[in-house]
Structure 1
Amino acid sequence: MSKFAELVERNPWRRNPWFETVGEAQRRARKRLPKTIYSSLIAGTQAGITVTDNVEAFNELGFAPHVIGATPERSLATTVMGQEISFPVLISPTGVQAVDPDGEVAVARAAANRGTAMGLSSFASKPVEEVTAVNDKVFFQIYWLGSREDILARAQRAREAGCQGLIVTTDWVFNVGRDWGSPEIPEKVDVKAVARLAPEMITKPRFALSWIRDGKLIVPDLSAPNIAHKGEPGPTFFDVYGTWMNTPPPTWEDLKWLREQWGGPFMVKGVSRIDDAKRAVDIGATAISVSNHGGNNLDGTPATIRVLGPIADAVGSDVDVLLDGGIRRGSDVVKALALGAKAVMIGRAYLWGLAANGQVGVENVLDLLRMGVDSSLMGLGKADVHDLSRDDLIIPDGFERSYGA
Structure 2
Amino acid sequence: MALNPWAKNPWFETVTEAQRRAKKRLPKSVYASLVAGTQAGVTLDDNVQAFSELGWAPHVVGAQPEREMTTSVMGQELSFPVMISPTGVQAVDPDGEVAVARAAAARGTAMGLSSFASHAVEEVTAVNDKVFFQIYWLGSREDILRRAERAKAAGAKGLIVTTDWVFNVGRDWGSPEIPEKVNLKALVRLGPEIAVKPRYALDWVKGGKITIPDLTAPNLTPQGVPGPTFFGAYGEWMGTPPPTWEDLQWLREQWDGPFMVKGITRLDDAKRAVDIGASAISVSNHGGNNLDGTPATIRLLPDIADAVGNDIEVLLDGGIRRGSDVAKALALGARAVMIGRAYLWGLAANGQSGVENVLDLMRMGLDGVLMGLGHKSVHELSADDLIIPEGFKRSFGNA
Report the Cα distance in structure 1 between the residues aligned to 2:106 and 2:268, rounded to whole angstroms: 38
Report the Cα distance in structure 2 between the residues aligned to 1:11 and 1:82, rounded to whole angstroms: 35
What do the CA deviations read for 1:364-396 (whole angstroms, capped 9, x no partner)?
000000000000000011100001100000000
State how 1:6-405 maps to structure 2 within 5 Å.
14-405=7-398
Report the Cα distance in structure 2 between the residues aligned to 1:402 and 1:66, rounded to whole angstroms: 31
* Secondary structure of 2:233's aligned partner: helix
* Secondary structure of 2:13's aligned partner: coil
Report the Cα distance in structure 1 between the residues aligned to 2:171 and 2:254, rounded to whole angstroms: 38
Q: Shift of residue 402 of structure 1? A: 0.8
Amino acid at match of 2:224: G
Amino acid at match of 2:293: G
Q: Shift of residue 187 of structure 1? A: 0.6
User: Is 222-231 or 166-175 further displaced after alignment?
Assistant: 166-175
Mapped contact 2:115–2:220 kept (Cα < 8 A): yes
What do the CA deviations read for 1:275-333 (whole angstroms, capped 9, x no partner)?
10000000000000000000000000000000000000000011110000000000000
**What 5-or-longer segments of structure 1 have no aligned partner?**
1-8
What do the CA deviations read for 1:181-201 (whole angstroms, capped 9, x no partner)?
100000111000000011011
Mapped contact 2:70–2:79 kept (Cα < 8 A): yes
Q: TM-score normalised to the size of structure 1?
A: 0.97
Number of residues paired by the alignment? 397
Report the Cα distance in structure 1 between the residues aligned to 2:5 and 2:83, rounded to whole angstroms: 35
**What 5-or-longer segments of structure 2 have no aligned partner?**
none
Mapped contact 2:3–2:350 kept (Cα < 8 A): no
Q: Shift of residue 11 of structure 1? A: 11
What do the CA deviations read for 1:91-145 (whole angstroms, capped 9, x no partner)?
0000000000000000000000000000000000000000000000000000010
Report the Cα distance in structure 1 between the residues aligned to 2:238 and 2:392, rounded to whole angstroms: 35
What is the percent sequence identity of the aligned residues? Answer: 78
* Secondary structure of 2:19's aligned partner: helix
Q: Shift of residue 171 of structure 1? A: 1.2
The 3 A distance-change label for structure 1 pair 125 and 13 is: closer
Q: Shift of residue 15 of structure 1? A: 2.4
What do the CA deviations read for 1:51-97 (whole angstroms, capped 9, x no partner)?
00000000000001011111100000001000000000000000000
Amino acid at match of 2:259: F
RMSD: 1.3
* Secondary structure of 1:321's aligned partner: strand
Report the Cα distance in structure 2 between the residues aligned to 1:191 and 1:44, rounded to whole angstroms: 29
Amino acid at match of 1:169: T
What do the CA deviations read for 1:343-383 (whole angstroms, capped 9, x no partner)?
00000000000000000000000000000000000001110
The 3 A distance-change label for structure 1 pair 14 and 291 is: closer
Report the Cα distance in structure 2 between the residues aligned to 1:12 and 1:234, rounded to whole angstroms: 33
Amino acid at match of 2:126: A
Report the Cα distance in structure 2 between the residues aligned to 1:11 and 1:346, rounded to whole angstroms: 23
Amino acid at match of 2:397: G
The 3 A distance-change label for structure 1 pair 104 and 14 is: closer
The 3 A distance-change label for structure 1 pair 13 and 88 is: closer
* Secondary structure of 2:260's aligned partner: strand
Mapped contact 2:217–2:229 kept (Cα < 8 A): yes
* Secondary structure of 1:314's aligned partner: helix
Runs of 4+ in 1 over 3 A off after TM superposition: 9-14
Q: TM-score normalised to the size of structure 2?
A: 0.98
Amino acid at match of 2:299: R
Q: Shift of residue 223 of structure 1? A: 0.3
What do the CA deviations read for 1:223-249 (whole angstroms, capped 9, x no partner)?
000001011101111111011011111
Report the Cα distance in structure 2 between the residues aligned to 1:171 and 1:18, rounded to whole angstroms: 34
Amino acid at match of 2:144: I
* Secondary structure of 2:72's aligned partner: strand
* Secondary structure of 1:219's aligned partner: coil
Amino acid at match of 2:344: L
Amino acid at match of 1:379: G
